[in-house]
Amino acid sequence: MHLTTASPGFLMTVLSFLLVIGPLIFIHELGHYFAGRWFGVKAETFSIGFGREIGGWTDKRGTRWKVGWLPLGGYVKFKGDMNPASQPSEEWLSLPPEERAETFQAKSVWQRFIIVFAGPAVNFLFAIIVFWAFFYAVGEPRTPNLVTGIAPGSAAERAGLQPGDRITSINGVTIERFEDIAGYLQIRPKQPLEIQVERGGEKLLVRTVSDAAVASDKFGNEAVIGRLGVPWPAQIRESLPLHEAAGASVRQTWNVVQTMVVTLGQVVGGDRSVKEMGGPLKIAQYSGQQASLGWMDFILFMTLISINLGFINLLPIPLLDGGHLLFYLIEGVRRKPIQPKVQEWAFRTGLAALLALMIFVTLNDLASFGLWTKLGGLIG
């Protein structure tokens, strides 16, 4: 019998969501802001949230810091941002030279690239710092990559694995600890596997297909994961000195990014259902659930969302940071910017695509909450 934990109430869910999204958007935009200041670009507005301002102040540099009523994003409006492509315009050319020097358009392509890249970079930096502190304080899981048992009828049994085998690689990916096995397999159900093992001083290559299993957490959230059929041994954590904890934090952040790349590729390739894609409502639900488990779980969840925010913003989609960076790379190669009309068309297309995606994931979220089933029952 699987026992589930009661979900937190509506108020706690909303507050937890704001505590996750608000600070992460703030540090993301702060990356843009400080990079802009470094290169002498004046920020006119720093906004957390969109829509009508519900509060704010203006600092001595003339920057308006404000909070919008819709907390699903944010932005920094630099001086000279007069069109979506941030291209020089007649209005920009009419500015006095000293004011024009403070604008985003006046900067070189590499400076504009750094200003835009700084937002996602700070999201990754936040995750690295949190993992760094975590690994230094409680150690890093480093359970030996040994097979301690075989589940009957499992992928491990079909592969001919035996207790005492040391798994050294899966599909060419190096395995150094048992956690690497679980991390690789969880997002790869029913996938062909080539497993390199060491047995009695000999190296063997065995083949099998991973099992698919439905895993559920304390709140009854379910997901299909891949399994080998090798039980987890007692986990071992090793205390790390400060410099090793730093390296472990970078590796952990990179592992999370790789997981996102793989799962996104699975969705695009049809190997993973689009129903697994979640939006703001799902993030809010998970925020409340993780907050109810304690501050450590909440901070680690916040760290994963920060990596997710940085990764999504680097996708080469017009309107996102990655779209701007792509245009700057093209400009750097061509030695001249793409025509403003082309960029504006691309940004409008990107906006339409993002709005469509937002609607889709919101409908997905509502479906996962059972809304359509409940409505169907009421209508029927």
Catalytic residues: 29
Structure tokens at 61: 């540099």
Between CA 211 and CA 189 the distance in angstroms is 6
| Sequence-separated (6 or more) residues with CB below 8 Å from residue 169 | 175, 195, 196
In three-state secondary structure terms, 220 is coil
Structure tokens at 126: 């936040």
**DSSP letter for each residue of 1-54:** ----PPPPPHHHHHHHHHHHHHHHHHHHHHHHHHHHHHTTPPEEEEEEEEEEEE
Identify the sign of the CA torsion 302, 304, 308, 310: positive
Cβ 148 vs Cβ 232: under 8 Å: no
| Sequence-separated (6 or more) residues with CB below 8 Å from residue 191 | 209, 210, 226
Q: Name the nearest CA neighbour of 329 among 119, 88, 112, 115.
A: 112
Between CA 58 and CA 44 the distance in angstroms is 9
- 67 sits in which H/E element: strand 64-78
| Sequence-separated (6 or more) residues with CB below 8 Å from residue 108 | none
Cβ 86 vs Cβ 94: under 8 Å: no
